[in-house]
Amino acid sequence: MKNILLFFFFILIFKTGISQENYASNILTSVSDGEKLLVSYDINASDGTKSFSVILMLTYNGTKITASSVYGDIGSSIEPGSEKAIVWYFKSEFDG
């Protein structure tokens, strides 16, 4: 997909059941094979938090994109650590 680099996205990481704070660091992105977006990140929990909920929010030209073909370290009960990864197969659901 030629316009994938125009995506503005961010990862919000929430302590499960607590306040909304961003614990993500070292967030890196790349496009692979022209059909998937790779997001790698670390979760640092110096306060001892054991579980996080990770969401990926995407917009394109100001329009929210709902990504259903997303896999990896996303969702609820994600443990802290380094080298977490999310893969979004955008080609199967977004043609732009």
pLDDT digits (tens, 9 = 90+) for 10-56: 444 444 444 556 778 888 999 988 889 899 999 988 788 888 888 88
- State the DSSP code for 69: S
**Between residues 96 and 42, which one has the greater pLDDT?**
42
Condensed to tens digits (0 to 9), the pLDDT of residues 67-81 reads 888 999 999 899 999
Residue 35 to residues 32, 52, 74, 96: CA-CA distances in angstroms?
A: 6, 28, 19, 12
Query: What pLDDT shows up at residue 20?
Result: 55
Q: Which two tokens stand for residue 74?
A: 């996303």
Query: What pLDDT shows up at residue 15?
Result: 47
pTM, entire model? 0.74
CA distance 69 to 36: 10
- 36: Cβ–Cβ under 8 A, 6 or more apart, which residues? 87, 88, 89, 90, 91
What count of other Cβ atoms lies within 10 Å of the Cβ of residue 49?
Answer: 18
User: Is the pLDDT score of 6 beyond 50?
Assistant: no
